[in-house]
Amino acid sequence: MKAWLDTGFLLTILTHRRCADKAWALLRDSEIPVGISSLQLFVIKHGLSQNFTDLNAPKELLDVCISATKLLNWLLQQDVLKTVELDYEEMIAVADSWASKLRTPLPSLLLLWPACAAVSAAKIFLSFDPRTRALAKAAGLELLPQKL
């Protein structure tokens, strides 16, 4: 497993947000499968499915969530994405050590995604978020895209 997906990067692909074309191109050029943690998949699936039962959710949001869920399932079935078993104790320890050194606190999940990549022995971190990219770079991972 050489590459690891940041959760925001995957959501960009799944929801066709700005930069989705760039994200697809980077994913296509990566060695397949690309790694992701079961925790990341849980957060994404749970976030998308919450809208399925929300009677007040706009139809457009529901359509995006349904489409994103189908695409996520397809990416997993086609082995484009693969969950990687991680030592979660080690991953949390890495994230905790980073958190203690940061001058500006980050949300917990933003600490966890690059920590997953670092613990998995990935070489490349796919992300558009400057905060997670900085942590991954400090851990010695190559960043894609190279420039934002």
pLDDT for 13 equals 95
pLDDT at 17 over 80: yes
Cα distance between residue 17 and residue 39, in whole Å: 22
- Residue range 39-48: average pLDDT? 94
Domains of the chain, first to last: 3-144 (3.40.50.1010)
Model confidence band, residue 148 (pLDDT cutoffs 50, 70, 90): confident
* Cβ count within 10 A of residue 46: 9
Q: How confident is the model at residue 14 (pLDDT cuts 50, 70, 90)?
A: very high
The token pair at 66 is: 């349904």
Q: Provide the pLDDT confidence category of residue 12 given band limits of 50, 70 and 90.
A: very high
Q: Which residue has the tokens 């905060």?
A: 131
Average pLDDT, the chain: 93
Q: Classify residue 106 as exposed, middle or buried by CB count within 10 Å of its CB (0-12, 13-18, 19+).
A: middle
What confidence tens digit (pLDDT) does each residue in 99-132 have? 999 988 899 999 999 999 999 989 999 999 999 9
Task: Give the mean pLDDT of 14-27.
Answer: 92
pLDDT over threshold 90, residue 1: no
| 53-101: pLDDT as tens digits | 777 878 888 899 999 999 999 999 999 999 999 999 999 999 999 999 9
113 closest CA partner among 103, 126, 100: 126
CA distance 14 to 45: 11
pLDDT at 43: 95
